[in-house]
Amino acid sequence: MAFELPELGYAYDALEPNIDARTMEIHHGKHHNGYTTKLNGAIAGTDLEGKSIEDILGNLDMSNGAVRNNGGGFYNHSLFWSVMNPNDKGRLSGELKDAIDAAFGSFDAFKDAFSKAAATQFGSGWAWLCVHPGGKVEVCSTPNQDNPLMPGVTCGGTPILGIDVWEHAYYLNYQNRRPDYIEAFFNVINWNEVESRYAAGK
């Protein structure tokens, strides 16, 4: 089965004013769709065809640029859409809150660390909150479409929250004000989804 562009689960304008409808339309319908199509082309007829995206990325030959870039782009964006929600966002609580407090000291300190990782990622890339086996969490960033599932990436674990800091994710609305976009992202985080991912990954 070929990979398919996932549905958002909400309208393109649902995250306004934090993320504008036109950016969402282009980001999902053009960029993510492009990664999906190119990933399918890159794995067609190879032994990667039919494998899960997690299996593909976790055992990736990092010299395979087509699969690295497009597989990463497919996975990263799929996570990105799911960890945002305009309505039923929940709130940080339970074991994930305890893990964040243990790792960072407080939610505010975590927010600062995550925001710094996103703001200081040079050029294009992502910032992540990851969970390690046993439940410890870590913040890190990766360039381009790399992610913590890939071999040799400096931060490990399973991504449970990610923010896209490629310019196409925010430039129409925020221009060069990446920190403003990062601050707005915290208004739409779907903590129910992040907590579910934490429980599955620890």
For the segment 118-136, what is each residue's pLDDT rounded down to a tens digit? 999 999 999 999 999 999 9
Residue 202 pLDDT: 84
CB atoms within 10 A of CB 184: 17
The answer, yes or no, to whether the previous bond of 6 is cis (omega within 30 of 0) is no
Q: What is the CB-side half-sphere exposure of residue 58 using CA atoms within 13 A?
A: 9
pTM for the whole structure: 0.95
- Average the pLDDT over 79-83 and give the result: 97
Residue with tokens 């707005």: 184
Residue ranges of the domains in the chain? 20-202
Distance CA 189, CA 87 (A): 10
Mean pLDDT of the chain: 95
CATH match of 20-202 with 3.55.40.20: yes
- Average the pLDDT over 170-194 and give the result: 95
Distance CA 135, CA 149 (A): 16
Q: What is the CB-side half-sphere exposure of residue 7 using CA atoms within 13 A?
A: 3
